[in-house]
Structure 1
Amino acid sequence: MTVSPRRHRVLVIEDEDNIALALDYLMSREGYEPDRIANGGEALGRIRATHPDLVLLDVMLPEVSGYQICADVRRDPGLADVRILMMTARGSAMERQKGLELGADGFISKPFELTELRREVRRLLDLPR
């Protein structure tokens, strides 16, 4: 009897429903176990409760920004192995630098190509934990 490997858990934190649904569908199709929320205020609690392997984190969210969520996750030693891929429509170099300085593992500008997103997700999930 072979044991199948555990599927990577991916939490999508995105308030734009059409983007969130597309990401949820893509993560399922890629063989990951997706979960999603639309509100920044719920993010840290959900991350702590589910301890996902990867968080796809929008920068602009209701209640709490993606930047604040990223900083909060990085301050929590129990979440050190959670990977964060930040996503924003404001894809300037300054936005990218800010996200990476706060501890994001990657940064992608919206709209993104699906191949680019797949590559980044795989890269981050393949990093040693």
Structure 2
Amino acid sequence: MTRSGLNVLGGDLMPCSYDPLTGFFRDGCCSASDEDAGSHVVCAKLTQEFLDFSRARGNDLVTPRPAQRFAGLKAGDRWCLCAMRWLEAFQAGVAPQVVLESTHKKALQLVTLAQLREFAWAPH
């Protein structure tokens, strides 16, 4: 299933993850939307180093929050990250790998394709 939109390579945007279910719309895709002020458009394969970095920046992605139907994330999970947070992690040397086919082209407003390619991960 693809969601409308293009990825950073110019092809159809492919799903990032259904387990855990990710995306601003919780549909598995890192779609771009004017409703999404955080621009959750980078599909990343999370590392513990990144999760620790994110928590230190005030965004705890590890702790479960059942009231929001959020089980918490762990290293190895794929998740739609805010493009700005990925860029911050990149600048700090702790950027997680990205799935280019599942990263929305809107990410290119903040990061370059070369930066993303440097951290490309192929799920196959």
Whichever structure has more helix as a proportion of its residues is 1
Higher Rg of the two aligned structures? 1
The TM-score with structure 1 as length reference comes to 0.33
The TM-score with structure 2 as length reference comes to 0.34
